[in-house]
Amino acid sequence: MADLILTGAAIFDGATRRTGQALVIGNGTVTAILPEDEAPAGPRQALPGGTLAPGLIDLQVNGGGGVMLDGAAPDQIATICAAHAALGTTGLLPTLITDTPAATEAVIAAGIAATGRVPGFLGLHLEGPHLDPARPGCHPPGLIRPMNDDDLARYLRAAAALPALMITLAPASARPDQIAALAQAGVVVCLGHAECTYAEAAAALNAGARGVTHLFNAMSQIGGREPGLVGAALTLPFAAGLIADGIHVHPANLRLALAARPEGLFLVTDAMAVAGTDMTEFPLAGRRILRRDGALRLENGTLAGADLSLPQAIRFLISELGLAPDRALAMATSRPAALIGAPAGRIAPGLPADLVHFDADWHLTGIWRNGVAVQAN
C-alpha cells in the first residue's frame, strides 16, 4: 500500500511531461509512475490539473530567510535551505561571495557539517575571491585576489569532503594548471566576473572549466572582433546559468542565448538574504543593499544579486518569452542537477519524492520534500 498517490496533473519527469499518470510515493521515495487506473491502493490526492515536476535545483543561492552565507553562524545553511524549500527549491548550493580565507574556511567547515544532515543541501558554491578586479560587480573589490597554493589546497580538501563544490573564478586570477587541478578533483569550475578574451575562456575550458556564472552579467561582452566571455559561453560547450527576471538580462539577450544554446543553459536565482522574507534592505560587506521594484541594488544602483525565485523565473520564460514548458522546467531541475552530479532534479522510481506542483498559469501551488508537504511561502 502506498503512502500517497498524486493524480490529476501532468508529470514532468525531468525530460518530458506525461498525462494520465499517477505518481506513487512510499517511504519518502517515488515507487512508481503508472496509468491512473493502475495505481495501487493508498491515500490519493487529486491535483487540479497543472504540472507536477521534480523539486527545483538552484546552484547560486547567496542567502535567504534573512541571512547571508558568510560562515559567521553554524545554522546559516539550514536557514537558507529551509527558506528556499518554501519557495519550491528543494535542493541548492549555498553560495559564498568573495570573502577572506578565514570566512571561506568557516563556510567549508559548515558545509561539511551540513552534509547528510540538512535537507536540501547539495554542496557549496564559492563565487570568488579569485575574480577579475575589472568586473567586481557587488563583490568587495579589496578582497578580490589571485589564487595561491594555500587556496588550491583548501579547495582540494573541500572537494573531497563535500557532495559537490562549484567555484566561480576568472582567468585573470587563476592559472590553467590550477583550473586543471580543481577539475581533476571533481570541482565544477565556472568562469565569471571576468573581463577575459574568447581565447582565454577557451583555454580555461580546455583546462577543465565547465560553466559560466550568471551569463551576460559582470563579464566581457560580444564585440565585432572579440567575442568575449559571452561569445565563448554561446559558442563553446559551457553550461551557463541565467538569471531570468527580465532585469539582469534583457529579454532579447535571453532569446539570443536560448536560441544559441538549446541544451546548455540552466536557471539560477542569485538570491540574497531577503528571499522568503519581507525585508526591504540588508547589509553586505558594510554596504546597504536595497530591495526596490523587484531588484536588489547597492545605493549606487549596481545590481546585487536578485529578488527572484525559480518558479518566477520559470514563469517568465514560459509566459513572457514563450519557451516550451518542458525546456523551462529542465533548466531548473535535471540540467543543474546533472552539472553537479546530484541524484536530484528528476522523478523516477527510487529517487526522493521532492516535488513541486504548478497550476495552468505556472504559479507554484504545492511543494513536497521526501513525500511530505512543505508550506509554501
Residues with active-site annotation? 270
Among residues 84, 96, 17, 66, the alpha carbon closest in space to that of 312 is found at 84
The single-letter DSSP state of residue 55 is P
Q: Is 53 helix (H, G, I), strand (E, B) or coil?
A: strand
**Residue 328: how many other CB atoms lie within 10 Å:** 23
Q: Is 341 left (phi over 0), alpha (psi -120 to 50) or beta?
A: left
User: What would you measure as the largest C-alpha separation in the chain, in angstroms?
Assistant: 65
Among residues 66, 154, 156, 178, the alpha carbon closest in space to that of 106 is found at 154
Question: C-alpha grid cell for residue 364?
Answer: 507554484
Which residue reads 503512502 in cell numbers? 3
Half-sphere exposure of 244 (CA within 13 A, CB side): 32
User: Please, what is the angle between helix 76-85 and helix 101-114, to 10°?
Assistant: 60
